[in-house]
């Protein structure tokens, strides 16, 4: 039986200081990609809005004239109200669109056009679904707009980009060849493994820099087949995640460092904006300092989410967890009503990003992830096997055997004091798998869960340098 294949992403942050040659290329190509995307979206939108009109606008007439010329060149080409990639590609080629042939590698240019077509089709699909299930959305889906700003993301396929190394003794750097760089010039990148097959490179503008993501095809890591236990996971603020496992263990990941980072960023940003806008009315605050503040905040937050998700999956593997039930609520950020301060703390934590990281790392380890609606799980008493209704589907106000006596403590019907977040995570598991705690009578393990603090998170990869941008470049 052959080894399974998976895709990995390796990120490199490109700036004028660390990779000046790459930065110049990406700066030019990202502007061309933005112009091409808007040119493609313009033709898609004008065709869609002007299809059945008897009196069209000047822009619509301009696009339909291009369609007429294209049909003369390709009489068998079928053009519908929603332009397909094939039709749009033919229109751009026949009319010799200057944005299509502005200097982007052809594979990259075609990918940009594909993205515009896919975005428009996704909008139509969401619009049809909205008519059937409007409660799934916060509002009616809107037609895709044009790219704002000066730059947009783009990709290099493995037909245009090559990654290799010359020194077998050094595996921590690689040589990159991309369009726009002379063959005699080598671009050396550090922190990129040469194991695996390069599929594509995605380049995304980010805070005055470019995030270069290498999508590599590689053999999957070890798969853990013997995982008989189950666990529930509850997201929060002071404890950013709490888990309870059927083997009689529990753990909480402290969120103090994440909250401190969010508060520090908000304070520093507010101070900087106040200085920049002092004495001005309706002034837009923008500076290199603000850009670097935002980048540092992104890198710190992204780094902590990665480390927390890694520790959670490591804990699940150590406790042989085969099914992980994650609690979630629809619109829980939009409808948060916990007071101004608690709302700010809760909304500022990227729970969705953390949930996504946990899900794909669990999939790699062979752990099944289930998302469970979690209403009333924090109020129900797991030791009394209280029923857990769904919010909005129960008459009257439900009553429960236990009660929450303080921020982090829950008193069960028998008087046992347990961790409130661990009680919630145990109930999340019970709500998805009703028999999960069958036969369990001793729940004292929920009273004193193992605590993963910020200091313990840092021990996973050693003490990092102080600059968060260097942390990101080093570990991600």
Quote the CA–CA distance of 475 and 306 in Å, as a whole number: 9
Tell me what percent of the residues of the chain surpass a pLDDT of 70.
88
| Residue keyed to tokens 């990259």 | 108
User: What is the pLDDT, as a whole number, of residue 252?
Assistant: 95
Quote the CA–CA distance of 94 and 154 in Å, as a whole number: 23
* Closest listed residue to residue 111, CA positions, set 197, 25, 181, 200: 200
Quote the CA–CA distance of 158 and 176 in Å, as a whole number: 11
User: What is the pLDDT, as a whole number, of residue 163?
Assistant: 83
* pTM attached to this predicted model: 0.83
- 284 contacts 462 by C-beta, under 8 angstroms: no
**pLDDT tier at 345, thresholds 50, 70, 90:** low
- 230 contacts 245 by C-beta, under 8 angstroms: yes
**Tens-digit pLDDT profile for residues 78-101:** 999 999 999 999 999 999 999 999
**Tens-digit pLDDT profile for residues 401-436:** 999 998 889 999 999 999 999 999 999 999 999 999
**Tens-digit pLDDT profile for residues 300-342:** 999 899 999 999 999 999 999 999 999 988 755 555 555 556 5
User: What is the pLDDT, as a whole number, of residue 335?
Assistant: 57
Residue 68 clears pLDDT 60, i.e. is over it? yes
* Closest listed residue to residue 473, CA positions, set 299, 315, 284, 232: 299
């Amino acid at each position: 039986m052959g080894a399974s294949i998976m895709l990995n992403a390796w990120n490199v942050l490109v700036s004028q200081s660390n990779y000046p040659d790459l930065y110049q290329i990406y700066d030019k190509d990202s502007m061309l990609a933005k112009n091409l995307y808007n040119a493609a979206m313009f033709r898609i939108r004008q065709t869609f809005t002007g299809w059945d009109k008897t009196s069209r606008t000047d822009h619509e007439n301009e696009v339909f004239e291009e369609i007429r010329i294209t049909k003369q060149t390709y009489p068998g080409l079928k053009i519908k109200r929603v332009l397909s990639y094939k039709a749009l590609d033919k229109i751009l080629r026949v009319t010799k669109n200057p944005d299509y042939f502005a200097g982007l590698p052809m594979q990259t240019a075609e990918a940009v056009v594909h993205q515009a077509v896919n975005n428009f089709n996704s909008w139509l699909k969401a619009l049809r679904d909205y008519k059937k299930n409007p409660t799934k959305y916060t509002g009616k889906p809107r037609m895709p707009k044009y790219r704002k700003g000066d730059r947009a993301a783009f990709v290099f396929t493995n037909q245009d980009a090559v990654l290799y190394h010359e020194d077998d003794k050094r595996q921590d750097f690689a040589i990159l060849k991309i369009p726009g760089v002379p063959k005699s010039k080598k671009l050396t990148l550090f922190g990129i493994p040469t194991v695996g097959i390069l599929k594509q490179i995605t380049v995304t503008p980010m805070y005055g820099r470019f995030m270069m993501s290498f999508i590599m095809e590689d053999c999957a890591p070890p798969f853990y087949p013997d995982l008989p236990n189950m666990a529930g996971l509850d997201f929060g603020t002071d404890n950013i995640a709490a888990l309870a496992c059927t083997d009689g263990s529990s753990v909480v990941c402290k969120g103090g460092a994440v909250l401190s980072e969010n508060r520090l960023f908000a304070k520093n940003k507010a101070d900087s904006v106040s200085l920049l806008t002092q004495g001005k009315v309706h002034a837009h605050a923008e500076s290199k300092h603000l850009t670097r503040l935002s980048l540092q905040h992104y890198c710190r937050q992204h780094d902590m989410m990665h480390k927390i998700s890694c520790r959670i999956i490591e804990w699940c593997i150590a406790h042989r967890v085969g099914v992980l039930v994650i609690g979630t609520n629809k619109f829980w950020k939009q409808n948060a009503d916990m007071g101004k301060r608690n709302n700010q703390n809760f909304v500022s934590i990227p729970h969705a990003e953390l949930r996504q990281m946990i899900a794909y790392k669990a999939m790699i380890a062979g752990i099944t992830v289930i998302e469970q609606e979690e209403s009333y799980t924090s109020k129900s008493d797991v030791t009394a096997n209280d029923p857990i209704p769904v919010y909005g589907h129960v008459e009257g106000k439900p009553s429960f055997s236990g009660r929450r006596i303080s921020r982090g403590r829950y008193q069960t019907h028998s008087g046992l004091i347990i961790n409130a977040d661990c009680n919630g995570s145990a109930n999340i598991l019970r709500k998805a798998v009703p028999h999960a705690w069958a036969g369990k009578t001793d729940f004292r393990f929920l009273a004193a869960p193992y605590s993963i603090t910020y200091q313990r998170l840092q021990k996973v990869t050693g003490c990092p340098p102080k600059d968060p941008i260097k942390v990101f470049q080093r570990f991600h």
